[in-house]
């Protein structure tokens, strides 16, 4: 029975033997630099087929010999199980890469939306995420309430919209956080709370990183840091306060200027206004000495299909959908035609969406990490600065106690400290040198001479000071006599007039 089993296996392995020869040729091609879809994953199968072919030529396999009696008793089913297990063992032995079960990963992105009230920020967010959420009316926590400013300062999450998109194929969960900000009437008042929000987000990330009670890795917890700011500019007008605010925002986060309600301008007006905004912001960047508008790479712009002249991006948003085209196709109807928000011929919204969520996503996240690590270094190394907070139980406090903080730049204190150190070193050197040269007697004589010299100097100072004091007293007495005269004689008539009727102090 064992012989028949081997023959059956040898007969059945004639085809794998031929495939082993073909596999060797494929491996030679791979070694020469030729890659094919079949060559890379079949290296394990090629080695397996070659081993099985040699096994069939050389005689009964160890599996067949060891299980000869069991195969005889159990029949073809047992032989098939043994052959299958042997094939698995051979494949495992020639496996080139470890195989792990895919697991879910999480990606986080925070978008800050800034601009005046009534520019369509809420509708813009709905049009951008409608297809991802499969809902044309995405619920957005916007800043339309009268208490929006107070809510943004006390609890920014009230104006925050969290959207999760799950990629079941690649097992990736994208977590998008869109933080709306109160529309400003007076930007000078609303500017600081928005900048404080960005700074507080970095502080929150630093506290989370140093939290001694943190139970999981940072990658599985929400990331509060702001990745990008979308700044809405009203059509037909760019205010000086907009330029000022964009310049201040650009110090902390990438800024993308957006021309809202682009359908309210003609094609010529839109191009002229886009050029004006671009030139004005370029001038602001030149005055600031750094870029104030985020610059995407040429490859990303080309892949996203960004039109010439952008940024700034001209966008259109609408709450009305054209169901004849699709469920999530927002349009704005006019008597003379329709304006489609997601059409690249009418709006830059599709290009901006692809830049943020696909093409430039990794670049934006990398820049967030770079900004954060610069902030982290400042917080951890400049711990002697009283304006920077030190939280109890954190790495910052440990570095502060260990004396690893960078010393502050205090020139006066450093100069006085260096002077004292040099004087002490000079005195110590003098004592050691004098003692080594003349012994204890020489040192004692120098000390006595110093004491006598010091005593003479003190006596001279006292005598000089006494003479100066006596001279001052005599001068004051003479001045008093000149003003008031003798103690029993009345003052002169002119001085009496100057003193007034109630004496020198104005009262009797």
Domain ranges, ordered by start, for the chain:
2-93, 105-381, 413-478
Give the span between the Cα atoms of 255 and 115, in whole angstroms. Answer: 12
Give the span between the Cα atoms of 108 and 106, in whole angstroms. Answer: 7
Q: How far is CA 405 from CA 9, 383, 397, 398, in A?
A: 74, 6, 10, 10
Q: pLDDT-derived band of residue 357, with 50, 70 and 90 as boundaries?
A: very high
- Whether the pLDDT of residue 356 is over 60: the answer is yes
Q: pLDDT-derived band of residue 508, with 50, 70 and 90 as boundaries?
A: very low
Give the span between the Cα atoms of 414 and 32, in whole angstroms. Answer: 67
Q: Going by C-beta distance under 8 Å and a sequence separation of 6 or more, which residues neighbour residue 221?
A: 208, 214
Strand 337-340 versus strand 330-334 pairing type: antiparallel
pLDDT tens-place string over residues 128-137: 998 888 877 7
- Whether the pLDDT of residue 123 is over 80: the answer is yes
Question: What residue spans of 155-266 are helical by DSSP H?
Answer: 187-210, 240-249
Q: What is the mean pLDDT of residues 20-41?
A: 41
Q: What is the mean pLDDT of residues 85-109?
A: 84
Angle between helices 240-249 and 267-288 (to 10 degrees): 50
Give the span between the Cα atoms of 48 and 16, in whole angstroms. Answer: 9
Class in CATH terms, 105-381:
alpha beta
Q: pLDDT-derived band of residue 431, with 50, 70 and 90 as boundaries?
A: confident
The reported pLDDT for the residue numbered 485 is 57
pLDDT tens-place string over residues 226-281: 999 999 999 988 988 899 999 999 999 999 999 999 989 998 999 999 999 999 99
Q: pLDDT-derived band of residue 215, with 50, 70 and 90 as boundaries?
A: confident
Nearest to 188 by CA among 114, 229, 245: 245
The reported pLDDT for the residue numbered 309 is 65
Strand 105-114 versus strand 228-233 pairing type: parallel
Q: Is the pTM of this model over 0.85?
A: no
Angle between helices 395-402 and 361-381 (to 10 degrees): 40
- % of the chain at pLDDT higher than 70: 69
Pairs from 379-385 (Cβ < 8 Å, separation ≥ 24): 379/206, 381/405, 381/406, 382/406, 382/408, 384/408
Between 484 and 251, residue with greater pLDDT: 251
The reported pLDDT for the residue numbered 137 is 78
pLDDT tens-place string over residues 282-301: 999 999 998 999 988 888 98
The reported pLDDT for the residue numbered 384 is 53
Between 399 and 90, residue with greater pLDDT: 90
Q: pLDDT-derived band of residue 184, with 50, 70 and 90 as boundaries?
A: low
C-alpha distance across the termini of the chain, in Å: 144
The reported pLDDT for the residue numbered 197 is 92
């Amino acid at each position: 029975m064992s012989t028949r089993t081997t023959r059956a296996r040898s007969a059945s392995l004639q085809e794998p033997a031929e495939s082993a020869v073909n596999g060797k040729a494929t491996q030679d091609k791979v070694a020469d630099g030729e890659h094919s879809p079949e060559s890379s994953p079949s290296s394990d199968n090629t080695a397996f087929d070659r081993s099985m072919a040699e096994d069939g030529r050389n005689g009964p396999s160890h599996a067949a010999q060891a299980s000869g009696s069991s195969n005889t008793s159990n029949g073809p089913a047992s032989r098939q199980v043994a052959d299958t297990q042997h094939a698995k063992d051979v494949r495992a032995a020639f496996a080139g890469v470890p195989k792990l079960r895919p697991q879910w990963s999480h990606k986080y992105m925070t978008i800050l939306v800034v601009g005046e009230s009534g520019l369509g920020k809420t509708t813009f967010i709905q049009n951008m995420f409608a297809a991802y959420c499969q809902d044309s009316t995405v619920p957005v926590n916007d800043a339309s309430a009268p208490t929006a400013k107070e809510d943004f300062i006390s609890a920014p999450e009230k104006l925050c919209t969290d959207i999760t998109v799950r990629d079941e194929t690649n097992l990736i969960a994208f977590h998008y956080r869109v933080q709306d900000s109160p529309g400003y009437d007076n930007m000078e008042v609303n500017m600081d709370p928005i900048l404080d929000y960005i700074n507080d987000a970095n502080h929150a990330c630093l506290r989370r990183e140093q939290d001694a009670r943190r139970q999981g890795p940072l990658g599985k917890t929400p990331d509060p840091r702001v990745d990008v700011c979308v700044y809405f500019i009203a059509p037909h007008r760019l205010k000086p306060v907009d330029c000022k605010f964009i310049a201040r925002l650009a110090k902390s986060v990438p800024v993308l200027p957006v021309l809202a309600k682009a359908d309210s301008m003609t094609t010529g007006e839109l191009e002229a206004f886009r050029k004006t905004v671009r030139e004005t912001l370029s001038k602001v960047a030149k005055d600031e000495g750094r870029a104030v508008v985020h610059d995407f790479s040429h490859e990303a712009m080309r892949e996203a299909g960004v039109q010439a002249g952008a940024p700034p991006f001209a966008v259109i948003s609408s709450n009305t959908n054209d169901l004849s085209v699709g469920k999530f196709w927002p349009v704005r109807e006019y008597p003379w035609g329709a304006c489609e928000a997601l059409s690249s011929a009418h709006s830059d919204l599709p290009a901006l969406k692809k830049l943020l969520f696909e093409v430039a996503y990794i670049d934006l996240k990398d820049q967030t990490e770079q900004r954060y690590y610069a902030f982290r270094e400042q917080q951890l190394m400049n711990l002697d600065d009283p304006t920077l907070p030190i939280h109890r139980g954190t790495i910052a406090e440990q570095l502060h106690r260990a004396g690893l903080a960078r010393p502050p730049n205090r020139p006066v204190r450093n100069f006085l400290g260096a002077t004292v150190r040099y004087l002490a070193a000079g005195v110590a050197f003098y004592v050691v040198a004098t003692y080594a040269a003349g012994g204890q007697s020489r040192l004692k004589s120098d000390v006595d001479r110093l004491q006598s010299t010091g005593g003479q100097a003190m006596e001279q100072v006292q005598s000089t000071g006494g003479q100066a004091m006596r001279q001052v007293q005599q001068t004051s007495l003479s001045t008093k006599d000149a003003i008031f005269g003798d103690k029993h004689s009345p003052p002169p008539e002119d001085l009496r007039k100057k003193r007034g009727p109630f004496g020198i102090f104005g009262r009797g």
